[in-house]
Amino acid sequence: MSARVVDIARAWIGTPYVHQGSAQGAGTDCLGLIRGVWRQLYGSEPEVAPAYTPDWGEIGGDELLMQAALRNLIPVKPGGGATPGEVLLFRMRDGAVAKHLGIRAGVGEAASFVHAYDRHGVVESPLSAPWQARIAARFRWPEPR
């Protein structure tokens, strides 16, 4: 399934950034990308996403993305091997809410992830040391029913 997830995510590359969007080719944000991949894998989304701000540096809020990921995805234990297709949840600075998501595409020397962000849309970026240091949690997709 991991190769399928990466293929689906890469098909979204070039989709413009639209806050709270989730339409391939028309507009999405990082959560919208995950929602879109979910729809392609399972048909319908597991829950309705609440309204949220685009601020990656938000301090003192609820960990809504972490809570939703824990309800719907399978956590990867810290130190577990990297697998293409994992959902990566990023905390952009200490004390901030974890508010950015991506999908691991490449591993090892070619480590990369697919994500959406303002002024860039959906892109595949190197999973460089600074990005890796910001990973707050990793998740696997559940097996289709």
Q: What is the pLDDT of residue 56?
A: 65
pLDDT in tens, 51-103: 887 776 667 778 999 999 999 999 999 888 999 999 999 999 888 999 999 99
Which pTM was predicted?
0.94
Q: What is the pLDDT of residue 136?
A: 96
Residue 113, H or E segment: strand 112-117
DSSP state for residue 133 in the 8-state scheme: H
Instruction: Name the pLDDT band for 50 (thresholds 50, 70, 90).
Output: confident
Mind listing the domains of the chain with CATH numbers?
A: 2-53+61-140 (3.90.1720.10)
* Helix 30-42 × helix 2-11 angle, to 10°: 130
Q: Rounded to whole angstroms, how far apart are CA atoms 33 and 13?
A: 10
Given a cut of 90, whether residue 135 has pLDDT beyond it is: yes
Is 27 in contact with 21 (CB distance < 8 Å)? yes
Residue 83 backbone phi and psi in degrees, to 5: -130, 130
Tokens of 73: 């995805």
